[in-house]
A and B are shown apart, each in its own frame.
Chain A
Amino acid sequence: MNPLAPIGCTVLGFLAAAGRLVLFAAMAVMHCILPPWYPRLVLRQILEIGYFSLPVVGLTAVFTGMVLALQSYTGFSRFEAESAIAGIVVLSVTRELGPVLAGLMVAGRVGAAIAAELGTMRVTEQIDALTTLSTNPFKYLVAPRVIAATLTLPILVAIADIIGVLGGYIVSIGKLGFNPTVYLHSTFDILEPMDVISGLVKAAVFGFLIALMGCYHGYHSQRGAQGVGTATTYAVVSGSILILTFNYIVTEIFFSV
Chain B
Amino acid sequence: MSQDTPKISVTGLRKSFGSKTILDGIDFEVAQGESLVIIGGSGSGKSVTIKCVLGLIRPDEGTILIDGKDAVGLRGRERDALMKKFGMLFQGGALFDSLPVWENVAFGLIQGHGVSRSQAYAQAIENLAMVGLKEDVADLLPAELSGGMMKRVALARAIATKPEIIFFDEPTTGLDPIMGDVINDLIVHVREEMGVSTVSITHDMASVRKIADKVAMLYGRKLVWMGPVEEIDNSGNPYVDQFIHGRAEGPIQMDVRRP
Q: Which residues of A contact B (CB under 8 A)?
A: 121, 124-126, 128-135, 140
What are 12 residue pairs bridging A and B, where the CB atoms are less than 8 Å apart in the complex?
Answer: A125-B94, A128-B90, A129-B94, A129-B95, A129-B96, A130-B96, A131-B54, A132-B54, A132-B87, A133-B83, A135-B108, A140-B111
Nearest CB in chain A to that of B82: its residue: A134
Min CB distance B127 to A, Å, is: 13
Min CB distance B40 to A, Å, is: 19
Min CB distance A212 to B, Å, is: 21
B112 touches A135 (CB 8 A): yes
Min CB distance A33 to B, Å, is: 16
Q: Which residues of B contact A (CB under 8 A)?
A: 51, 54-56, 80, 83-84, 86-88, 90-92, 94-97, 107-108, 111-113, 157, 161
Nearest CB in chain B to that of A117: its residue: B98
Given known pairs A133-B108, A133-B161, A134-B112, the reply for A126 and B88 (CB within 8 Å) is no
A132 touches B96 (CB 8 A): no
How far is B128's CA from A35's CA once the two chains are assembled, in angstroms? 31
B90 touches A129 (CB 8 A): yes
How far is B86's CA from A131's CA once the two chains are assembled, in angstroms? 10
B90 touches A125 (CB 8 A): yes
- New A-B contacts (4) at CB < 8 Å, excluding given A124-B94, A129-B94, A131-B56: A126-B96, A131-B54, A132-B83, A135-B112
How far is B141's CA from A92's CA once the two chains are assembled, in angstroms? 47
Nearest CB in chain B to that of A128: its residue: B56
How far is B107's CA from A130's CA once the two chains are assembled, in angstroms? 9
B91 touches A125 (CB 8 A): yes
How far is B179's CA from A233's CA once the two chains are assembled, in angstroms? 40
A128 touches B94 (CB 8 A): yes
Q: Which residues of A contact B54 (CB under 8 A)?
A: 128, 131-132
Nearest CB in chain A to that of B107: its residue: A133
How far is B86's CA from A187's CA once the two chains are assembled, in angstroms? 64
Nearest CB in chain A to that of B96: its residue: A126
Q: Which residues of B contact A140 (CB under 8 A)?
A: 111
Min CB distance A49 to B, Å, is: 15
How far is B111's CA from A133's CA once the two chains are assembled, in angstroms? 8
Min CB distance B222 to A, Å, is: 24
Given known pairs A124-B94, A125-B92, the reply for A132 and B86 (CB within 8 Å) is yes
How far is B84's CA from A121's CA once the two chains are assembled, in angstroms? 22
Given known pairs A128-B51, A128-B56, the reply for A135 and B92 (CB within 8 Å) is no
How far is B181's CA from A38's CA once the two chains are assembled, in angstroms? 40
Q: Which residues of A contact B111 (CB under 8 A)?
A: 133-135, 140
